[in-house]
Chains A and B, each alone.
Chain A
Amino acid sequence: MKKEKKTKYIPSMGLAFNEENEMRRLGEMAKEGWIFDSYKMLGYVFKRGEPKKLIYCFDSYRLCKEESEQYFKIFETGGWKHICSVDNYYHFFCAVPGTPAIYTDKSSLIEKYSRLNNMLIKAVVCCGLSGIGFLGLNLLLTKFWHNGTALKISSILAAFSFSAMFAMIITFCATMLRIRKIKSGKKL
């Protein structure tokens, strides 16, 4: 007899590009009895449970230990149950349909995405500098120490750094567009 699956994994298409659709998808999965449990490996892990009508959202806020309790308590009071967090920065919540949104005014919603962008800028700079560093190392290895393995490793690391930097720049642009939409009052 085939064993029924108890967990499911669905990769994320990118919260910066697809936030509303992804949160809607989580709700649809909950209706089918797949309850969002954790965010791992850039995707959603679901666990089998009773079908439920739930709505989902996520917030981005760098929390230190002292702030966490108060932060989650405020959300709980507002009807939003904390599901999981990623890097103490991305926090996922669920609530019953009809619960007021976690952001109820434009300026604080814009701040959410501005915080994200500030983090992305720092990450872009770090990845860019790492990439340049590895390229420099590549140059030195080519000139002074002809080690094929070391050259391959530094090339891979440089490529990885620049790819990550490029992905973050795209995310930054998507978030900027989102901020623009909010400011102009367009639907997200």
Chain B
Amino acid sequence: MVMVLCSMLKLTKGEFVIGPATLYTILKKIQEADYIILNGEDQDRRKTYYITEKGKEVIVREVERRIKMADHGKQALYNVRGFKE
């Protein structure tokens, strides 16, 4: 989970911050929904998870949906008179 927090900060350049309680709540939910499975503990007693096929499908579907939404938004902005990219 340390890796999740650090990776998100790095990827979004500090723009997207997730609180620990929010992270833990989401972690439990996606585990219950079988999107991730506990892989086990390493030597430092850190828990690691891996994503399931079901989880991968959900992520791909969600990212595609958001890309479509962003494209629609862009189209709407281009159609506004006087707007330039």
Contacts and interface: CB of A to CB of B under 8 A. Distances in A.
Give the 10 A-B residue pairs with the shortest CB-CB distance, closest first.
A78-B20, A102-B21, A104-B19, A108-B22, A108-B25, A75-B20, A102-B19, A74-B20, A100-B17, A77-B2
B24 A74 contact: yes
Contacts of B24: 61, 70-71, 74
B18 interface: yes
B47 A70 contact: yes
Interface in B1-46: 1-2, 5, 17-26, 45
A102 B22 contact: yes
Interface in A76-99: 77-78, 80
Interface of B: 1-2, 5, 17-26, 45, 47
Given A70-B1, A78-B23, 14 more contacts: A70-B24, A71-B24, A74-B20, A74-B24, A75-B20, A75-B21, A78-B5, A78-B20, A100-B19, A102-B22, A104-B22, A108-B26, A109-B22, A112-B25
A53 interface: no
Contact of A77 (B5, B21, B25, B45): B5
6 contacts: A69-B45, A70-B47, A77-B2, A77-B5, A105-B18, A109-B22
Contacts of B2: 73, 77
Given A69-B45, A70-B47, A103 B22 contact: yes
A94 to B, nearest CB: 13
B20 A77 contact: yes
A74 B25 CA distance: 11
Interface string A102-119: 111100110110000000
Contacts of A80: 20
B38 to A, nearest CB: 10
B47 to A, nearest CB: 6
A37 interface: no
A22 interface: no
A105 B22 contact: yes
